[in-house]
Amino acid sequence: MQLARRAIDYYSQTGNYLKINQSKIPVTLKEKRGCFVTLTINKKLRGCIGYLEGQNELWQDIEHNAVSAGFEDPRFQPLSQKEIPLITIEISILSQPQLVKQHLNDELLTYLKNNRPGVIVKQDFRQATYLPQVWEDIPDPVEFLTNLCHKAGLPDETWKEGTTEIYTYEAEYFKEK
């Protein structure tokens, strides 16, 4: 969490990434894992960028995603100096996404309702994901999958088709207080 906060602060002042003493990086942050950094202001989304699978060591992806969420999320203007102290940072560390082999609609909906995992829908070159935390805002599995298809630029009910790949994953997440 400190790394993400420091990266955003430093980038806002210099336009550069931090210079990290890698010998001080804990071993757990040297793994390659998917991660997202989500920024909110007063519980409203202000930026969210991440990778479903690790691109670099976790500490590098956290730093990069924090800066990208604050300054490069195409849905928002870059953070202003005034906004930086107002943001709340949340980091989600993902498990390896698993393809749902047989997604018979009733079984899939029951599984999602009971487990509330992160979900990826993918068809051809289009894909989108919702982190597990999105279940707090969209608790109905049908609505969840419909919105996720829409987010991917797919027809809303594409998730019902056998040609759509659906993946699930778990996430550990940490949020500033």
Give the largest CA-CA distance in the chain.
Answer: 52
Task: Looking at the structure, tell me whether residues 117 and 44 fall in a common domain.
Answer: no
Task: Looking at the structure, tell me whether residues 115 and 149 fall in a common domain.
Answer: yes
Last residue of a domain, one of 39, 62, 94: 94
| Assigned domain for 70 exists | yes
The boundaries of the domain holding residue 54 are 2-94
Query: pLDDT at position 106, please?
Result: 83
Q: Which two tokens stand for residue 148?
A: 């996720």
Residue written as token pair 């994901």 = 129
Instruction: Tell me: pLDDT of 103 over 70.
Output: no
Instruction: Tell me: pLDDT of 102 over 70.
Output: no
Residue 56's nearest CA partner among 89, 80, 32, 86 is: 32
Residue 123's nearest CA partner among 62, 73, 166 is: 166
CB 65 within 8 A of CB 21: no
**Whole-model pTM?**
0.88
Give whole-number Cα distances, 125 to 2, 98, 153, 165, 172, in Å. 35, 18, 10, 11, 28
pLDDT digits (tens, 9 = 90+) for 24-45: 888 888 899 999 999 999 999 9
Task: Looking at the structure, tell me whether residues 90 and 112 fall in a common domain.
Answer: no
Last residue of a domain, one of 49, 77, 94: 94
Task: Looking at the structure, tell me whether residues 161 and 78 fall in a common domain.
Answer: no
Residue written as token pair 């955003």 = 8
- CATH number where 167 lies: 3.30.1490.150
Give whole-number Cα distances, 24 to 7, 30, 59, 100, in Å. 16, 11, 11, 39
Last residue of a domain, one of 63, 94, 125: 94
- CATH number where 10 lies: 3.30.700.20
